[in-house]
Amino acid sequence: MLSGNNDLRNCLICLGGEETESIDRVKLSLPYALECNTNYFADVMRHLSTSLPGFKDYTFVFTRSVTELPRKFDNKPNIVVFIMGDEWARVPTYSSKVHAIFKAPGQDMKLAFHRNWWRFNAMALVQYTRQQAKRFPHHYRDVSKNIFAIPYGYYRLPEREQVTPINKRKIDASFTGSIDHRKVLGGLIKTNKVLSRERMVRTVDDWKRDKQYNVDVKLSTFFPKAADTPEFNDYPTILMDTKICLSPRGTHLETYRLCEGMYYGCIVIAEEQPAHWFAEQSPAFIVNDWATLPDLLDHLLSDPQRLQELQKASLEYWDKVLAPQAVSAHIASCLAPLADSIDISDGAREFFDSEAKNKADAFDDPRLGGKDKAA
């Protein structure tokens, strides 16, 4: 972690209404404001402050709202917004009035089906249609120009000081989370989150009956109140002692658990993920049918050497892709092509022009999958 000497007064968290406060102050008094870990994102911004030329020319605003920002930002130039927790992937009403927007979860509306499960797939289609409807009337905007995805990071986890070697961990597989916290028509209709997690839990229960493995499945209350439950208080300890972290989908395909498992050196098994930059090369195992989970668990747990290799891959992926320094580098690269629209110093302009050229060269290079790649 970087020292706290970097000035982050231009990094503000919206606390409701017109009230804002610097992220450095909020992380001390309200470390989980906006249902995210403000310490994690303060580290992201601190790395960005040392690597992004013209950093002080921007105002960085963290919020959960996709409909409005505090009025004091109405005519302020160079606003960069971070939207936390919009699981409906809505286009913010103010997207054309700000310089850039970064979202966790991202903007991808991927329609992910499960194999041979008509009930789940029907609900997936219904939810996808609802999500599309919630994007009106701003759906027509070309969101690829100034809206970008970033990872969740971790939520209520202490900073990782050391990692327990995977073959010394006592819990073979674990899941701590909610299943049904919002009743639809009195529970007659189950959402994709409920369907997926119920099937995963049943599958794990059936699998462990005839096994000698140690499995820890704890069902908590819904996410905003999870910190009030004993199950969630034990979550960091459980995760650090877990070999395989089970990460079923929530309302959105992306979850904190996938990033948190990597951070603590677990092997992660998840459902299909959106095609974001931070998920493309993920070492997580992806399943589209939880019925296949037992065979995958047996295969992984029977090979201690493979477990060690996969733990190393998880930790390296966190350090290279999901860690604050890696996320800040990606944010800088996203801001580079937009630099023409802001007033910055000549040195900053030179940096941005160089970053934009590097992206263009990578796009053209067939070795990197560029546009000239042979068919």
Distance CA 58, CA 343 (A): 10
Q: Cβ neighbours of residue 83 under 8 Å, at least 6 residues apart?
A: 63, 64, 65, 66, 92, 101, 102, 103, 104
323 versus 191: the higher-pLDDT residue is 323
**pLDDT higher than 50, residue 147:** yes
Distance CA 239, CA 267 (A): 11
pLDDT score recorded for residue 231: 62
Mean pLDDT of 91-112: 84
Q: How far is CA 231 from the centre of its chain?
A: 22
Place of tokens 């630099």: 339
Cα–Cα separations (whole angstroms), residue 259 to 1, 2, 183, 350: 18, 21, 28, 34
Cα–Cα separations (whole angstroms), residue 282 to 67, 108, 294, 318, 332: 32, 17, 21, 9, 21
pLDDT band at residue 347 using 50, 70 and 90 as cut-offs:
very low
pLDDT score recorded for residue 2: 45
Q: Mind listing the domains of the chain with CATH numbers?
A: 11-154+325-333 (no CATH), 166-323 (3.40.50.2000)
pLDDT band at residue 40 using 50, 70 and 90 as cut-offs:
very high
Whole-number average pLDDT of the chain? 82
Mean pLDDT of 346-369: 47
Tokens of 81: 């917004």
pTM exceeding 0.85: no
**pLDDT higher than 60, residue 329:** yes
Distance CA 28, CA 333 (A): 29
294 versus 338: the higher-pLDDT residue is 294
**pLDDT higher than 50, residue 4:** no
Most confident segment among 255-259, 308-312, 346-350:
308-312
Q: Say what percent of the chain tops pLDDT 90.
A: 49
| 58 neighbors 2 (Cβ within 8 angstroms) | no
